[in-house]
Amino acid sequence: MQAYRDHHGIPHARAASVEGAFRAQGHIAALDRGLQMEYVRRKAMGTWSEVVGSRALTDDTFSRRVGLAAAARLSYEALSDQTKAVFTAYAEGVNEALPESLADCDLPEAPAPWEPWHSVAVYLGRHVGMGSMAHKLFRTALLPVAPAEVVWRVRANARDELVVVPTGAVHRVDAEGPPEGHGEKVRGWLNGLAEVETVAASADPAAGSNNWVVSGTHTASGRPLLAGDPHRPFETPGPYWQNHVSCDAFDAIGLSFPGVPGFPHFGHNAYVAWGITHGMADDQDLFVENLDRLERRTEVIKVRDADPVRITVHTSARGGVVVQDDSANTGLALRWTGIAEPDRTLDCLLPMLTTTSVAELDEVMRGWAVPVDHLMMADVHGAIGYRLRGRVPHRDEANSWAAVPGWEQQYAWRGWVPFDDMPAARDPEEGLLVSANNRPSADTAPYVAHDYAGPARATRILQLLREDVAAGRRLDRAAMERIHGDVTSLTARDFIASLEHVKAAEGSRRSQLLEILRAWDGTMGLGSIAATVYTEARRELLWTVPLPDSGDSHASLLTHQQRTGTLWLSFQSLLAGARAGDETIFGAWSEAVGQALDRTAERLDEEIGPDIEDWTWGRLHQCRFTALLPGVPAVAGRPLPGDNETVRAAGLHGIETTAASSGSVARYVFDLGDWESSGWVVPEQSEEWYAAKLVPMHFDWEVIERIGTPIALGTAADQHPESARAALR
């Protein structure tokens, strides 16, 4: 067995057997990301407080109440013998390296051996916060105390949404949302629920992703290009680990979750490439439960440098209670496709690596459950394809709006949407497919979700691709890099177009700001003054949205981040409504914008100074990484162009801060005409990442052996019990 590191420290491992390959992957993962693996394992099992103290209590409590560890054990037992052998080999590799990797880390005790089911726990823990719970909780909190028409409008969806398939089609969103009086129903079901503990693990509303695939008719090589970038909170270390694993059965490279074998979301083998964006599917429901009717137990969370904390865990037939108010005898149970029954998604990991065509990869996805993703595919034979992969439940329409009573059978789940009914496409005539968390299809059946990202990023990617195609340019990796780095905001352009009737006294501060905005093309560059004015005006406008204060009864169910993050991303939709004459949110638009610009001038004069030349976007929009692990410093922050709705995502919770706290945590381009022309980058490669450039993704073993530095792993990675070897055949 052989292993090397290339010039960027990326590992490439080659073994004779499948089990040897996964043992090597586990071994090197523990060498490179051992402390991170301990973190994600403990976070899934609710024991990270033992390492870092009380700051992890909220997350640990959530994981225990959801029951992630128990669900992971059940799901592991449901996996095939072949998959269990893969996870066993991976765990053995981890255990060869983990003690040494963590020897100098500040842990309260020696790390426990890595068990095969721990990888399932890590996988579930990575995705439980990406479901629809945040949207449901937002509406559950506000529908009882605010007009439904206001609550329903505060969503990221635009009125006219670009859909994934067919490419370029636009769907007009006409869904009315909850009927009149539904908020009263929710209030009654909640039975006074208000004084609750903070809910953890809801998805970061500023996150998202992009991906796109181009057929060989438009490329320099004559074969497809597949590109994209996953968006998550900016954290160090990042969620993805670059690596390459090969054996007699497959040769594959991609981005892995440390702690999970294979390449579930981004990668390629010798024949097929794949990449995903979050499908935004409605895969989680909240059920109102009477606590005195549920099973309950007490668990103790050990807390470093503090007394242990005892928590009560309530479990219903629909899931664990994640929000509870003992005085109201009421809680909200989370039902999620990943834990509703044993999940066999991970049975797909090995078959993905051995597929030889888009058609084969698509067929493997029949077994995929969580998460629901927009999967883009391409193969060396020239095919491209799209599939909304994953599992979506059938249930009552009311479940899609807010929490529903668990004791009424009307709201129970009734099976799954069939795989063949999920949106899909193969080799579209235009030769382009694009997704960016937007609506998958113009068809409203089957129901997939109400809440999608606005169409700005997807529309801009398609616009740039079509411009290149129309100009006759043959696309290559450099062209994909340019799209990765694009910082033009179509939402900002819509805002500029809305200023036509805004009036200002000649020579006034408002007049100055209007002149700056009207001359702007919507590019969120570091030196842009208009980008700052636009963002601050957007902030001022959103502060006026008539939502109840978080101290008002049920509205206190929301964390501050959930409230402000959802509101920030609703701007594209609210702007579209205002331009169409809807005065529900802002009143008379021209007057509202004028007043917002006045307040913007006051704020910037006070915070930066009266010289407008100092109001550059780079000054306000600084990248901010969070250090996750003790003793591991965060990637240093720098000014960052773009915002939430630009292709180069640099997300901000703009109501609170203009710092960039989420965005592209990896970028990749897979060139199916020449794998050596592919490229990728993660934030730890900071010079290239900040420059929106890629580093080489070496796949040719002759190149790797010539440039690589050997990794000493010994021969253990090719040794494995005969029983596991047989299961992998």
Coil, strand or helix: which one is 588? coil
Tokens for 408? 């009424």
Coil, strand or helix: which one is 4? strand
Of the candidates 629, 660, 630, 625, the one whose C-alpha atom is nearest the C-alpha of residue 646 is 660
User: Which is the catalytic residue, given 49, 101, 209, 435?
Assistant: 209
Measured torsion, CA atoms of residues 217, 381, 481, 361, in degrees rounded to the nearest 10:
130
Determine the Cα angle at 179 with ends 173 and 185, to 5°: 140
Q: Which helix (H) or strand (E) holds 172?
A: strand 170-172
Q: Which residues in 229-259 are b (16+ Cβ under 10 Å) and which e?
A: bbbbbbbbbbbbbbbbbbbebbbbbbbbbbb
Can you name the residues that pair with 295 across neighbouring β-strands? 315
Q: Are 272 and 378 in contact (CB under 8 A)?
A: yes
* Distance, CA of 681 to CA of 665 (rounded, Å): 8
Q: 3-state DSSP helix/strand/coil percent for the chain, to nearest 5?
A: 40, 20, 40
Q: Which helix (H) or strand (E) holds 98?
A: helix 81-101
Can you name the residues that pair with 228 across neighbouring β-strands? 211, 668
> Which residue in this structure is represented by tokens 């001022």?
540
Q: Which helix (H) or strand (E) holds 331?
A: strand 330-336
Q: Which residues in 215-224 are b (16+ Cβ under 10 Å) and which e?
A: bbebbbbebb
Q: Name the amino acid, one letter, at 154.
A: V
CA distances to 205, 266, 347, 400, 477 from 223, rounded to whole Å, are 36, 19, 30, 41, 12
Q: Which helix (H) or strand (E) holds 111?
A: none
* Distance, CA of 632 to CA of 35 (rounded, Å): 9
* Distance, CA of 385 to CA of 427 (rounded, Å): 6
Q: Which helix (H) or strand (E) holds 167?
A: none
Tokens for 606? 């006070």
* Distance, CA of 633 to CA of 451 (rounded, Å): 35
> Which residue in this structure is represented by tokens 């055949």?
729
The packing angle between helices 68-78 and 57-66, to 10°, is 50
Q: 329: alpha, beta or left, given left = phi > 0 and alpha = psi -120 to 50?
A: left
CA distances to 145, 326, 401 from 290, rounded to whole Å, are 22, 10, 20
Write the secondary structure of 537-562 as one string of H (helix), E (strand) and C (coil).
HHHHHHCCCCCCCCCCHHHHHCCHHH
Is 209 noted as a catalytic residue in this protein?
yes
Q: Which residues in 68-92 are b (16+ Cβ under 10 Å) and which e?
A: bbebbbebbebbeebbbbbbbbbbb
Tokens for 404? 């529903």
Coil, strand or helix: which one is 321? strand
Of the candidates 239, 238, 274, the one whose C-alpha atom is nearest the C-alpha of residue 253 is 274
Can you name the residues that pair with 436 across neighbouring β-strands? none
Cis peptide preceding 111, ω within 30 of 0: no
Q: Are 295 and 254 in contact (CB under 8 A)?
A: no
Q: Phi, psi (5° rounding) for residue 42?
A: -65, -35
List active site positions.
Answer: 209
